[in-house]
Amino acid sequence: MEHTAETVLEVGAILLAAAGAGWLARRLTLPAIVGYLAVGLAVSPFTPGYVADRGQVSLFAEVGAILLLFEVGIEVDLRELRREHPAVLWAAPIQMAITFGASTAAFSLLGLDLAAAALLGLAIAMSSSVVVVNITRSRRRTTDRETDHLLIGWSVLQDVIGVAGAIILLAVLGAGRPIHLTLLGLTAFGALALLTSRLLPRVLARMRSEPDLFLAVSIATGLAVAGAGALLTGMPLALAAFIAGLTISEGPVSSEARKRLLPFRDLFAIFFFVAIGTLIDPGALGRGLGWLALSLGLVVVAKSLVIFGLARLARLPAHHGQLAVGLGQVGEFGFVLATVAVARGVLPGEVYAALLAAVALSIAASSIAVRVIRRPAPIVAASISS
């Protein structure tokens, strides 16, 4: 009982500290995520002072990533994107291919194992849907409606393509099981996801008048499908959770599911970013500064500049600079894929620390820079009288 009380006290204290740091960051015109990351660094075992229970924080980070990506999966509406901005359907895959190829080649040429290089290349190619949504919902945003819509649409396509790529990549690399069993598991998981996508919306539609049951069934189904996917295929739980979210991403219940899951998404997002802060080891990062510089350079050159060029080529009705900068970060999938590489023993500790730092720095820089870049004011013609 005493240990439970200490755990509850620690969780409450970390949440309060993160809320305070987030509030202070916003008063300083910084994104709240900067405050969450700072709290994580402050209570990490790598900095002086109080040290949080790392296992407890990591557990919340894992659950947070699962629920975050489950909610991101629900956000997907490819039919609307195809109808309103069809050019994104070819621009985003091209960007993913260019960024993945350039990043994988760069990491591999500098000595990383090919498996680790490919996982990190995929991580660099994908942005943070959570950060993108925060950018579009911020009270201080300077983006317009079209830019907001394209930011979300592009990041959602990155998620869909990236998860498909991760599943293929992990199947090729193997998950400690024969390839034929992995493929069989993928087939079974696909059938389960398809069946759930047909049945779950009908079940939820009947529960609209009972919000407690609606929420319980939504989350329970997402966790169950994610768990089944991880067991059947060996893929990370967070990736399976994204696919579980896709099962209710379309239809009349999707918007209601998003609305009811949003408070939980925000709560676990706080723990997720706090946990990222606790995992950054300044000592290992000191040995990996070159990897950090490479990761950030790839985000700028092989990602943001590519997005800017493709947006101009496709003549997307958005502020191209804001679109490129708003997507110019390494997100929650980067954490998931880097953790997979560490678990497989193919990623050195200093590279892992560098990627976590790249997640934190790129998120902060992207969230701030997108506010600075504004659409040029229209030129007002001189009055006739002048």
Q: Over the stretch 176-186, which tens digit does the pLDDT of each residue have?
A: 566 777 778 88
User: For 136-152, what is the mean pLDDT?
Assistant: 81
150 is a domain residue: yes
Considering the domain boundaries, does residue 115 fall inside one?
yes
Provide the domain count of the chain: 1
Residue range 278-314, pLDDT digits in tens: 888 888 888 889 999 999 999 999 999 999 999 999 9
Identify which of 219, 290, 203 has the alpha carbon closest to the alpha carbon of residue 251. 203
Is the model's pLDDT at 94 over the cut of 80? yes
Q: pLDDT digit string (tens) for 215-252?
A: 888 878 877 888 888 888 777 777 788 887 777 666 56
Would 385 be classed as within a structural domain?
no
Which pLDDT tens digit goes with each residue over 355-378?
988 988 898 889 888 888 765 544
> Left, alpha or beta for 315 (phi > 0: left; psi -120 to 50: alpha)?
left
Cα torsion 235, 239, 244, 246: sign: negative
**Token pair for 131:** 């950060």
11 has a pLDDT exceeding 50: yes
Read off the pLDDT of residues 36-83 as tens digits, 9 standing for 90 and up. 888 988 888 877 777 777 677 677 667 777 777 777 777 666 666 666
Q: Is residue 130 pLDDT above 50, yes or no? A: yes
Q: How confident is the model at residue 93 (pLDDT cuts 50, 70, 90)?
A: very high
Helices (H) and strands (E) in the chain, counts: 18, 0
Range of the domain at 83: 2-372
Q: Which of the four pLDDT bands, split at 50, 70 and 90, describes residue 17?
A: very high
Mean pLDDT of all residues belonging to the chain: 82
Residue at 40: amino acid letter: G
Helix (H, G, I), strand (E, B) or coil at 43: coil
What is the model's pLDDT at position 302? 95
Q: Select from 287, 289, 291 the least CA-distant residue to 107.
A: 291
User: For residue 385, what pLDDT band results from cuts at 50, 70 and 90?
Assistant: very low
pLDDT score, position 177: 62
Q: 68: phi > 0 → left, psi -120 to 50 → alpha, else beta; which?
A: alpha
Coil, helix or strand at residue 176: coil
Give the torsion sign (CA, 117, 350, 33, 373).
negative
Question: Where residue 205 falls among pLDDT bands split at 50, 70, 90?
Answer: confident
Residue 236 DSSP class: -
Q: Residue 378: what residue type? A: P
Domain membership flag for residue 384 = no
Query: Which residue stretches of the chain are H helix?
Result: 2-27, 32-42, 54-75, 78-84, 88-109, 114-125, 129-137, 145-173, 179-205, 211-233, 237-246, 254-279, 282-287, 289-299, 305-313, 320-326, 332-343, 349-372
- Asked if residue 383 is part of any domain, the answer here is no
Residue 52 · residue 385 · CB < 8 Å: no
In a domain, 382, yes or no: no
Query: b/e per residue, 12-43, with b = 16+ CB within 10 A?
Result: eebbebbeebbeebbeeebbbbbbbbbbbbbb
The letter for the amino acid at 221 is T
Lowest mean pLDDT: which of 5-19, 118-132, 162-176, 252-266? Answer: 252-266
For residue 386, the model assigns a pLDDT of 36
Helix (H, G, I), strand (E, B) or coil at 46: coil
List the CATH number of the domain containing 157.
1.20.1530.20
Report pLDDT for 160: 82
As given in the structure block, the two tokens for residue 308 are: 């800017």
Is pLDDT of 195 > 70?
Answer: yes
pTM: 0.82
pLDDT of residue 80: 66
- State the average pLDDT over residues 112-141: 86
Is pLDDT at 96 greater than 90 in this prediction? yes
Within-domain flag for 381: no
Nearest alpha-carbon partner for 359 in 15, 74, 24, 36: 36
Q: Are 287 and 350 in contact (CB under 8 A)?
A: yes
- Look up tokens 């500064």; give the residue: 289
What one-letter code names the amino acid at 286?
Answer: G
Please report, to the nearest 10 degrees, the dihedral formed by the alpha carbons of residues 314, 315, 320, 323 taken in order.
-50
Please report the DSSP string for 310-353 in residue order: HHHHTT-SS-HHHHHHHT-S--HHHHHHHHHHHHTT-S-HHHHH
Task: Give mean pLDDT, residues 336-348.
Answer: 83
Residues 321, 246, 259, 220, Cα dihedral to 10°: -140
